[in-house]
Amino acid sequence: MMSTLLFVHIGTHYPKYLLRNIERTRKLFKNHKIALVGNASPEHRWLKNYDIYFKRHENNSVFDAQFSFGEFEKNFRSGYWRYTLERLLALELYHRDFPDEKLIHLESDVIIFPNFPFEKMNDLSRVTWMNHSSTADIASIVFSPSWLSSKDFSSQLIEEYSNGGGSDMDVLLRLRMKNSQYAILPTLNEANLNLFNTQLENLAYFSSSETSRFRGIFDALGIGMWISGVDPRNKFGFTVIHARELIDNGIIFIDPSKMIFHLSKEGNLFVQTLDDRIPIYNLHVHSKDRDLLSIKWKARMEKLLAKKKSKKKIIGFSPLILYGLIKSNIKNRSLTNFVLQIPVVRKTKSRYSSR
């Protein structure tokens, strides 16, 4: 049985990059079932044209009773901190209708390549996701083998959240550390530890029991951020690539700056080593790059990989994103703090305060 590719978006409208990514996924994987869980149904014609199964999202009453924004800002991106956790419960919601299907949940800004290892994924017996750092796991891709697995995952996720709070990334790490029924996909091939971030010493969190199953690796976040940049909403509308902050601060286990990337004519991404090419099965496009997350992805990838990686580069700026950030901060009465975080303002303030 082929696994189902599941996208989830909770909110009032679907971002264009998600719909484009679904269209891209359908073009590449014509024989796979693709499902979308969301609050509002997209246009019927779109669903029919791309053969997408739609499931309307339903609130989980147990989660509703437990959830609190806590230290997180309630108004941040219209409830972002709630939705990133709540969307993981959608695996059980979908699985209720199709209990025997194997599910691969892709985050909205994650693309998978033509050589994605579906058969090896289907052989997994545990709910599996990825590790991001020593303090956080990440749900860029989540695999669930059955409805019972998704059901247990949902209940334990809610219980872990109610006991310790935190973001989805915090909760996933704690859950995995406490339960052997969960596993992580390999984000680094242990035969190529020269790609390991030397700012770190401990491989314990990164080590995957599933490494031998897969010849290649999965991108939790770091490779995609290096190649295509950070979400410009985090950078005042700028798209910046080849930034070293996550590497130099010891946040991610891998060091993408050491990697030599190769895109094959079939559109598969590899890390080139001295004697081998290691497949990278997916890319987390944190920048929400509209061409990478579309049927134009191959040409865009070639263009990004052609850029020299000697230093950090600004490759784009969106006045509309900056305007939206200003508008949102005015609404939330946080404009002063927002302005003070702009790099040029922060540097000027620091210079005058040191006098």
pTM for the whole thing? 0.89
With cut-offs at 50, 70 and 90, classify the pLDDT of residue 72: very low
SS3 39: coil
CB 210 within 8 A of CB 186: yes
CA 50 from chain center: how many Å?
A: 23
List C-alpha distances in Å: 330 to 232, 323, 326, 334, 339.
19, 11, 6, 6, 11
Model pLDDT for residues 170-225, shown as the tens digit of each residue: 999 999 999 999 999 998 876 676 777 777 665 554 556 666 788 899 999 999 99
List C-alpha distances in Å: 349 to 116, 234, 251, 338, 341.
48, 20, 28, 14, 10
Model pLDDT for residues 135-144, shown as the tens digit of each residue: 889 999 999 9
Q: Which residues of 303-318 are buried (b: 16+ CB within 10 A; e: fewer)?
A: ebeeeebeeeeebbeb
CA 154 from chain center: how many Å?
A: 19
Residue 345 has pLDDT above 70, yes or no: no
